[in-house]
A and B are shown apart, each in its own frame.
Chain A
Amino acid sequence: MESKFYEEDKLLIFKITDEIDDCSVQKIRRKADYEMERYMPKKVIFDFSCVTFMDSAGIGMIIGRYKFANMIGAQLEVSNLTQSVKRIFEMSGILKLIPVASLGQAQSSHA
């Protein structure tokens, strides 16, 4: 997973580059929480454009990061959901809670 912090906007972008399953969420969780604490952003965006696989472990991971972001006063959004990722998020109903941000490819490629 790659991350990039935009100081002027207090925006932290995580670009997930692994397949998301029970094994990889442990690494993603650790890194995301560490970076959020370090930068104290106002907004956190998870970019899913490079995610080729996700199972239900991704739901728990995003809900957990959503709670963590709330705790530090940041707003969490998800972006560039692929068809299969979107389907799983929609089944769980978390898109009613977490907004989908439109993140340009240019911006996400810098992340």
Chain B
Amino acid sequence: MKDVFENEMKLEFISRSSNEAFARLTVAAFAAQLDPTIEELADIKTAVSEAVTNCIIHGYENKQGIVKIVGHLKENEIILEISDTGKGIENVDIAREPLYTTKPNLERSGMGFTIMESFMDTMEIESIVGLGTKVTMSKKIKPNRKEEEEDFQMITTSH
């Protein structure tokens, strides 16, 4: 019987925009264990970047706080929880709408949640005003057929 592949990681960092690249690259390195395509990896990086930006700009409004990322790998799926303990979102349904932004004067596009939603398979938002926000997203990585076949051939020929 084949063991189910499982892994987990936690990452915490200060809410500075210079940490955004660090966060998405770290998550990408973690996700790489599922052998995603370059496109799948780019989708995950973009979604992480959007979620972390939200924590920094909206959750903490550029004041110092801690952004937390918990990542799980289970079989061929990556599940990410990205959270802050900032101000929270009053109306999650409105915040999810494309082009909605509370900060239009800062050249915000209001596309963050829309991008997370379309680049990942699932996306959920839990938020309590004054306590913080947690975004949970998941994405299934399609198994790389060709490589599996090559592995299989290697095993059969080595015996």
Contact = CB atoms under 8 A, between A and B. Distances in A.
Interface of A: 19, 21-23, 25, 29, 53-57, 59-61, 63-64, 83-84, 88, 91-92
A59 B109 contact: yes
Contacts, number: 61
Interface of B: 17-18, 20-21, 24, 39, 42, 45-46, 49-50, 53, 56-57, 99, 106-109, 111-112, 114-115, 118
B114 A21 contact: no
23 contacts: A19-B21, A21-B49, A21-B53, A22-B57, A23-B17, A23-B21, A53-B42, A53-B49, A54-B46, A55-B53, A56-B53, A56-B111, A57-B109, A59-B109, A60-B108, A63-B109, A84-B42, A88-B46, A88-B115, A91-B114, A92-B99, A92-B109, A92-B111
Given A23-B20, A56-B109, A60-B108, 15 more contacts: A21-B21, A22-B53, A23-B18, A29-B107, A55-B50, A56-B115, A57-B109, A59-B109, A59-B111, A60-B107, A60-B109, A88-B111, A91-B114, A91-B118, A92-B109
Given A22-B17, A23-B21, A53 B45 contact: yes
B45 to A, nearest CB: 6
Contacts of A19: 21
Contacts of B17: 21-23
Given A22-B56, A22-B57, A88-B46, A56 B112 contact: yes
A56, A60, A92: which has the most chain B beta carbons within 10 Å?
Answer: A56
B115 A55 contact: yes
Contact of B107 (A23, A63, A83, A84): A63
A83 to B, nearest CB: 8
Contact of A91 (B24, B45, B111): B111
Nearest to B19: A23
Secondary structure call for the A interface: helix
A84 B45 CA distance: 11
Nearest to B109: A59
B46 A57 contact: no
A108 to B, nearest CB: 22
B39, B45, B118: which has the most chain A beta carbons within 10 Å?
Answer: B45
